[in-house]
Amino acid sequence: MKTLRRFLTRLLNFDKRSQHEERMREEIEEHLALETEHNLRGGLPETEAHRQAVLKFGAMEAIKETYRAERGLPFIETLLQDLRYTLRMFLRNPGFAAVAILTLALGIGAATTIFP
Amino acid sequence: MKQKTDVLQGTLALMVLKTLDILGPLHGYGIARRIEQISGDLLAVNQGTLYPLLLKLEQEGAIASEWGASENNRRARFYRLTRAGRGQLQAETLGWNQTAAIIERFFAVKAEDLS
In tens digits, what is the pLDDT along chain A, a chain of 116 residues?
677 777 777 777 666 677 778 888 888 888 888 888 888 888 888 888 888 888 888 888 888 888 887 766 777 778 888 999 988 988 898 898 899 999 999 999 999 999 87
CA distance linking residue B52 with residue A66, whole number of Å: 6
**What does the pLDDT average to over B46-50?**
80
pLDDT for B43 equals 57
Asked whether the beta carbons of A27 and B51 are under 8 A apart, the reply is yes
CB B77 within 8 Å of CB B5: no
Q: Closest to A30 (Cβ–Cβ): which among B47, B56, B74? A: B74
Residue in B closest to A68 by C-alpha: B52
- Phi first, then psi: what are they for B89, rounded to 5°? -60, -45
How far is it, in rounded angstroms, from Cα B10 to Cα A114? 55
Cα–Cα distance for residue pair A74/A66, rounded to 1 Å: 10
Nearest to B84 by CA among B62, B55, B66: B62
Asked if residue B53 has pLDDT above 90, the reply is no
Q: Do the bridges between strand B43-44 and strand B63-69 make them parallel or antiparallel, or are there none, so unpaired?
A: unpaired
DSSP category for residue A28: H
Return residues 73-112 of B near A (CB < 8 Å): 74-77
| Model confidence pLDDT, tens digit, residues A80-105 | 889 999 889 888 988 988 999 999 99
What is the pLDDT averaged over residues B14-28?
Answer: 89
Q: Could you give the CA distance from residue A87 to residue A96 in angstroms, rounded to a whole number? A: 12
Q: In this structure, which amino acid lies at residue A96?
A: F
Q: What is the mean pLDDT of residues B37-61?
A: 78
Output the pLDDT for position A69.
78
Asked whether the beta carbons of residue A67 and residue B51 sit closer than 8 angstroms, the reply is yes
User: For B64-115, what is each residue's pLDDT tens digit?
Assistant: 988 888 777 777 889 999 999 999 999 989 998 999 999 988 888 876 676 6
B47 closest CB neighbour out of A58, A70, A71: A58
Instruction: Please give the backbone phi and psi of residue B62, each rounded to the nearest 5 degrees, phi first.
Output: -80, -30
- Residue in A closest to B62 by C-alpha: A2
Residue B80 makes CB contacts below 8 A (sequence gap 6+) with B20, B24, B25, B63, B64, B65, B66
Give the pLDDT score at B33: 86
Q: Are B82 and B64 in contact (CB under 8 A)?
A: yes
ipTM of the prediction: 0.71
In this predicted structure, what is the pLDDT of residue B83?
92
Q: What is the pTM of this model?
A: 0.69
Q: Would you say the C-alpha torsion B90, B91, B92, B98 has a positive or negative sign?
A: positive
| pLDDT at B42 exceeding the cut of 60 | no
Contact B76, A30 (CB under 8 A): yes
